[in-house]
Amino acid sequence: MSVRRCLFPISVDRRQFRTEPFVSAIKAIAKPYDECVFLIADWLQLHNKASLCFRGLKLSAILDSFRLRNPYLGKRKQWLRRVCQRVQGTWAYNASWVVIGMDDIMDKAFCRTWRNVVLMYECIDEFRDEIHMAASEHNVTAKGSADETSHLRLSNVYLLEQVAVSVRLRVIDSIEAEYYIGDTLPVLVKLYAGRYGVNVWTLAGSPTRRKRFRVFRLKGRSGSLKWAPL
């Protein structure tokens, strides 16, 4: 019998990822899973740190500082232990909890997926245009600034890496369902639906299988939360 897994991507700088809202969100999932995978998007923060180059800081200093003082994974692991205690009496408490950071999936399969996502970006106009659109929306505070173009380039790289991480983790590790508090990247929803002419199995360099990947979005307010498929 196959293990039923679900994925919770965890941002390290979003207010939604506080104890009370997150506990409520987990309790709102009625469908039980055997394993909950929590991906702490720690290294994605490096793209935000890199923007300090536009203020005169050297990239080498930014990279070294982040490598030596990256507190995100450790802090989120501690936080998730508290969250786990708060969901006692639910299916989630009895499920296996697997907490990973970005380094845990930076393997050969990720490199292959990342390369194919970059090729997709260069070769498929619709995908590239929608990455640019998402990057522009992500950089509202940078609009009109002298460094707007540079910020947009960093955001493009950030979003492409986010796509590659999702495909690497969900396809290779066979994670059918994803639950994310916040706005899901539209290109990911379209990608899993096969709307760009390249399926996720091909991007991951894996044989195509009959499997449905679903993304759920949280709706409602505290006390009446509900996860709805996109």
Q: What is the pLDDT of residues 41-81, one digit of tens each?
A: 887 778 788 888 888 889 999 888 877 777 888 889 999 99
Q: How confident is the model over 208-221, as a mean pLDDT?
A: 87
Residue 140 has pLDDT above 70, yes or no: no
- Per-residue confidence (pLDDT) for residue 42, from 0 to 100: 82
Residue 14 has pLDDT above 90, yes or no: no
Q: How confident is the model over 122-147, as a mean pLDDT?
A: 81
- Per-residue confidence (pLDDT) for residue 146, from 0 to 100: 57
Mean of the per-residue pLDDT values for the chain?
89
Q: What is the pLDDT of residues 167-200, one digit of tens each?
A: 999 999 999 999 988 778 889 999 999 999 999 9
Phi (first) and psi of residue 39, to 5 degrees: -100, 115
Residue 206 burial (CB < 10 Å; 0-12/13-18/19+)?
A: middle
Q: How confident is the model over 90-114, as a mean pLDDT?
A: 95
Residue 23 has pLDDT above 70, yes or no: yes
Query: Span 5-104+173-229: which CATH code?
Result: 3.40.50
Residue 85 has pLDDT above 70, yes or no: yes
Residue spans per domain, the chain: 5-104+173-229
Q: How confident is the model over 24-40, as a mean pLDDT?
A: 94
Calpha distance 37→34 (Å, rounded): 10
Calpha distance 28→217 (Å, rounded): 11
Q: What is the pLDDT of residues 108-134, one digit of tens each?
A: 999 999 999 999 999 999 999 999 999
The full 3-state SS of the chain, as one line of letters, equals CCCCEEEEEECCCCCCCCHHHHHHHHHCCCCCCCEEEEEECCCCHHHHHHHHHHHCCCHHHHHHHHHHCCCHHHHHHHHHHHHHHHCCCCHHHHCEEEEEEHHHHCCHHHHHHHHHHHHHHHHCHHHHHHHHHHHHHHCHHHCCCCCHHHHHHHHHHHHHHHHHHHHHHHHHCCCCEEEECCCCCHHHHHHHCCCCCCCHHHHCCCCCCCCCCEEEEEECCCCCCEEEEC
